[in-house]
Structure 1
Amino acid sequence: MVWEPGRGSIVRRGKGLLLALLVPVVLTGCTAGPSRRPAVVENDARSAPTAGVPSTVPLPPLTEPRSPSVQWSDCDTQVRSRLEPPSVPASALSFTCATVTSVLDSPDLPGRIPTHVALLKAGSGPIPLLVLNDIEGESGTHYAAHLAAALPPALLSRFSLIGVDRRGTGDSDAVGCVPRDVRTTLLSQDPAADEIDEVLDAARRAGQQCAIDLGNSQLAIDSWRAAGDLEQIRVQLGVPKLNAIAHGEASHVLTSYAARYPGRFGRVVLDGIPDPSPDPATALADLTAARQSTLDAFGRDCADRRCGLGDATAAVTTLLDRLRADQPMLGDGTAFSPGLALDAITVGLANPARWPELATAIQAAGGGNPAPLAAFVDPMLHGSQAAPPRLDGALATECNDSSARLSANQITALGTRLRQQSALFGAAATERLTWCLPWPGRTTPLPPPGVAGLPPILVTATASDPVTPEPGTTRAAAQMPSAVRISWQGSGHAAFTSPCVGEAVRAFLADGKVPADGTLCPA
């Protein structure tokens, strides 16, 4: 991701997550009804929210740690050498790191095997604010480092961002059980092909190898147990309540935490929640529509910049057709397939800050140079000792979190139906269903997102989000009695890029002000 601070109160679309957070700006169009600012209610933990806010439980006060036991050590040089992109100014921040011991809690050996959770601290504020990222995105510690670099000093004098590498990722005993060629095959399903046999065979190989390599820990890499890791972190940070931000699919960890430890839930923001619908067809139809909508927005942005790509859908379709006829080889000997190209494009669509780079990469791939486009998906495929491949931890977590399994015939039929909705993204939306088919399913599903008796939870959504589409986030929020939802009418996988949303989040976290449910923020 590219993280660039905004200038004053002006934040250009897609210039980084939370660029406007805690900047004392005059808002220009957050609306709930006729108002141009997010309607708020004062909530300093001494009185409950007023009518219209769905929770009658006040936000808990911000409490400084007492007798913390986390041992922080300097890791500034090491972190900076691993950040991609290395966009944190040397004089702006310093980073310290720590490791917290938790319990692996595998089903057959509960409470007996330890696991290690890596933390990164940015900022000097006394109040810890945990930061969690999507399992397929950059590690939580690196995400927090980039996030901190985009924030004004005022925030980091009130809060310290505590990035968390979720179990099985980053420096938290990362999973690395999928063979390299299998990763490539998993991401190479042609969106125009009806058969999934090759990808399904790769999924079987991945599941078998992970069962061999991980043993008892295979089923312990999930969001429910990651919530237990957060509780260990809260205890060792010495705070009575957990204050946190979760991006996208990481919301599963915090909704699981709410179910397990409702009395310790503090001020929490969920930026995009996965669809809780038990029907994959409903969720994937919305995902297909959101990806096509985001591609359309990318095309309009490209036209406004006169990037020369032309119609975005036509350009991508032409590229995939060319790759079917002649697949160029990447530097590591991997064939750059249509499926791999579409996965790379989907990654790029999620971050509008990279849209100019994405447009150039699509054009380069069409001209026979696939390397710039392949770079978007490379972190999922390739790893090193310093940065493990993201696919392995994502596969384990996403498959362990899911209890539903469709048959191969059902997946194929669903892909055919969705292809009628979007020739590009329809069948590709079923990719993860195929990955998880051979993987053991949960015996009990993750808890629904709704827990009674919680303080207000701020839920943000983006109109065209290719990762956690707005309809699914809206359905999730509807199940949460204390959810207060803000929708940004923009594109990408980060509502916080909106100054309107950013200010509402700032006021919620720092001042205890709860916005009106259903607030709309313009693009």
Structure 2
Amino acid sequence: MPRVIGRVGAILLLLVLTACSAGPSDRPAVAYRGEEQPGTGSPGTSEPRTVPPLGPSSRDALDWSDCTEATRRELPPGGPSGDVRFSCTHLLTSLDPPGAVRGGTTRLALLAAGSGDVPLVVVNDVRGEPGTVFAARLASELPEEVLREFRIIGMDRRGTGDSDPANCVPEREREDILRFDTRASDDSTLDELLESVRTASQKCLLELERRAQAYDTRHTADDLEELRLRLGVPRLHAIGRGEGSRVLSVYARDHPDAVGRMVLDGAPDPTLRTQAQLKRRAESAERTFDVFAEDCVNSGGCPLGDSPRERLDALIERTRERSLPTGGAPLTSGELTRAVLHGLGDRQNWPRLGEAIAAAENGEGGPLAEFVRNSEAGADRLGQRMVTRCNDTMLRLPPERAADTAEEWVNSGPLFGGVFAQRLIRCSAWPRPQQALPSPGNVQLPRIPVIATENDPLTPATGSENAAAALSNGSTVNWLGSGHGALGRSECVTGLVSDFLVSGEPPPRDAACPA
């Protein structure tokens, strides 16, 4: 039986493979564990290549219209080139799953890019940028052969982006929750957060009424099936990032015969309950900051000197006493901490993040505020996220346990433990869902690659590896880099995914791509 090599061994093997290449290659070298070669089954087996065909072309029944200029205004500088055009439309879908008593409809915003005839749907996290914006940005990062073969379609999940809104958290409570001190761990202070959460939950339940339970991963998976039917294709080819990967996992379980070529770019751990998942995410965020700090110091001229962690820790403590001016609302310590967490999600932003932390040390909070306030701007994104996340978990942290939990997590994760502990608290007053999210089960599926990023502040690599193992035919692609999501950021990962999507060539099992 071949020995399975670890990540360090994978890097060494990567160097050997690169050195022994017979000639030039269009793709970066890839290391793999064991003896499996690309396109084959597991070592010692006769597993066939179970990759679904692409066709036929879409028989689209949706009414698209050009939205290129409006989309470009939403994208950051350096986005898609001028020859990439965008079109937009809305999908009308039932608030209840197929077969249930219909309780009204909701509109979901869609955006398409690319010239291919085959739809490739992308599903983003419920946090961060809407799915349509994510799809438009991804169009600038994927190889041209993907854009020629596919029409990339992004969907704003229920209540997010330009879909029918779920604006339900009053502004006062929204500000209180988002700006709350992430290091608070005493009963009297946390009672203030619990009161804000209680009021926000009550307002959302009154505003949304029976729709309140219709914002979750299970209903989003049903929306994808409605989209597939309206696109007129027998299989759903799709990419999911972060929590969007969980949507695709639920879809695959419920509609196994409709699963096409799917890629999960960072997937939540299906083997852990919510509290353990969030604790693991806090630990991953702490490790990612240490990688950021090391990268800053090693780059030479780090604006945070030789001890970025100590400097950020001291900055957070000072800001707990006195918020920082920004040119707008002062930046609180809670916002500051969440801004750093947002900044860690994109490796390309790390130099700017270091400069923003240094500016905050000098009393200017504006550059750091941009990281978090841009992601919160516009509609009530807190309500959208909070309702969806609370509907996705059965866990309700009793109020009397809030202080002990917060203290434990802040002690074990001084920078980000409190951020994730407060996510538990946010669901304390929300009704429990009628049933838990389904596990992947033993449903037979085609090959589904799952990308695990070594230093992901939001989706730990071990969780993605467990998600791949839970699928009947999952395989892991390990990116040894940093940030939230590898697709479009790692040339090696992007090449493997492109080969899989376009040519049906699955990545070798347990492939390892360099940082």
Q: Please indicate, yes or no, whether the TM-score normalized by the shorter chain is above 0.5.
A: yes
CA distance in structure 2 between the partners assigned to 1:204 and 1:258 by the alignment: 35
Larger mean CA deviation between 271-280 and 509-518 belongs to 271-280
Superposed, 1:154-165 pairs within 5 Å as: 154-165=145-156
Given the superposition, is the C-alpha separation of residues 292 and 136 from structure 1 closer, same or farther in structure 2, using an over 3 Å criterion?
same
Q: 2:445 aligns with which of 434, 451, 454?
A: 454
Query: Residues 110 and 432 of structure 1: is their aligned pair in 2 closer, same or farther, counting only changes over 3 Å?
Result: farther
CA distance in 1 between counterparts of 2:438 and 2:88 reads 32
Question: Is the CA contact (8 Å cut-off) linking 1:72 and 1:97 kept in structure 2?
Answer: yes
Name the counterpart of 2:287. Answer: 293
Residue identity in the other structure for 1:359: G
Instruction: Tell me the residue number matched to 1:284.
Output: 278
Of 455, 462, 465, the match for 2:456: 465
CA contact (8 A) 1:380 1:389 kept: no
Secondary structure of the residue aligned to 1:488 is strand
Q: Aligned with 2:31: secondary structure?
A: coil
CA distance in 2, matches of 1:508, 1:309: 41
Q: Specify the alignment match of 1:312 in structure 2.
A: 308
Equivalence for 1:62: 54
Partner of 1:103 in structure 2?
94
Residues 483 and 53 (structure 1), Cα distance of their counterparts in 2 relative to 1, 3 Å cut: farther
Whether contact under 8 Å (2:263, 2:449) holds in the other structure is yes
Residues 135-156 of structure 1, C-alpha deviations (whole Å, 9 max, x = no match): 1110111111111022332221
2:171 matched to 1:177? no
1:74 to 63, 66, 76: 66
CA–CA distance in structure 2, aligned partners of residues 76 and 291 of structure 1: 36
Provide the residue aligned with 2:322 in structure 1. 326
Q: Which has the higher contact order (CA 8 A, sep 6+)?
A: 1
Partner of 1:517: 509
The equivalent residue for 1:12 is: none
Q: CA deviation at 1:249?
A: 0.7
1:205 Cα deviation after fit: 1.4
Q: Counterpart of 2:352?
A: 357
| 1:269 maps to which of 263, 285, 305 | 263
Shift of 1:50: 5.7
- d(CA) in 2 for partners of 1:282 and 1:66? 42
Alpha-carbon displacement from aligned partner over 1:79-107 (angstroms, at most 9, x marks no partner): 12222x14335523110111111101189
Question: Which stretches in structure 1 are left out of the alignment for 5+ residues?
Answer: 1-23, 43-48
Q: 1:192 to 1:238 in 2, by over 3 A?
A: same
Say if 2:495 is the partner of 1:503: yes
Matched residue type, 1:509? L
- In the other structure, the counterpart of 1:20 is none
> What pairs up with 1:19-168 in 2 under 5 angstroms?
26-33=26-33, 39-41=37-39, 49=41, 51=43, 58-83=50-75, 85-89=76-80, 91-105=82-96, 110-168=101-159
Q: State the secondary structure of the residue aligned to 2:32.
A: coil
Distance 1:228 1:318 in 2: 47
The whole-number CA distance in structure 2 between the counterparts of 1:271 and 1:373 is 27
Contact 1:488 1:522 in 2 (8 A): yes
Aligned 8 A contact 2:109 2:162 in 1:
yes
Q: Distance in 2 between matches of 1:370 and 1:66?
A: 49
Gaps of 5+ in 2: 1-23
Q: Deviations over 1:312-366 (max 9, x none)?
A: 211211111220221134444x342111110010000011111111111111111
Q: Which residue of 2 aligns with 1:19?
A: none
Q: Aligned to 1:368, what secondary structure does the other structure show?
A: coil
SS at the partner of 2:438? coil
Partners in 2 of 1:138 and 1:281 — Cα distance? 25
Give the structure 2 partner of residue 18 of structure 1: none
- Equivalent residue of 1:267, what SS? strand
TM-score by length of 1: 0.88
Tell me the distance in 2 between the aligned counterparts of 1:54 and 1:450: 23
Secondary structure of 1:41's counterpart equals coil
* Cα drift, residue 126 of structure 1: 1.0
Q: What's the Cα RMSD here?
A: 2.3
The whole-number CA distance in structure 2 between the counterparts of 1:391 and 1:371 is 21
Deviates more, 1:473-482 or 1:139-148: 473-482
Q: What is the alpha-carbon distance in structure 2 between the residues aligned to residue 521 and residue 260 of structure 1?
A: 32
Distance 1:173 1:26, change over 3 A: same
In the superposition, the TM-score normalised over structure 2's length comes to: 0.89
Q: Identity of paired residues, percent?
A: 38
C-alpha distance in structure 1 between counterparts of 2:406 and 2:442, whole Å: 34
In the alignment, does 2:369 pair up with 1:374?
Answer: yes
- Shift in Å at residue 200 of structure 1? 1.5
Amino acid at match of 1:39: Q
Task: Give 1:322's aligned amino acid.
Answer: R
* Conserved 8 A contact 1:344-1:376: yes
The 1:344/1:110 distance shift into structure 2, 3 A limit, reads farther
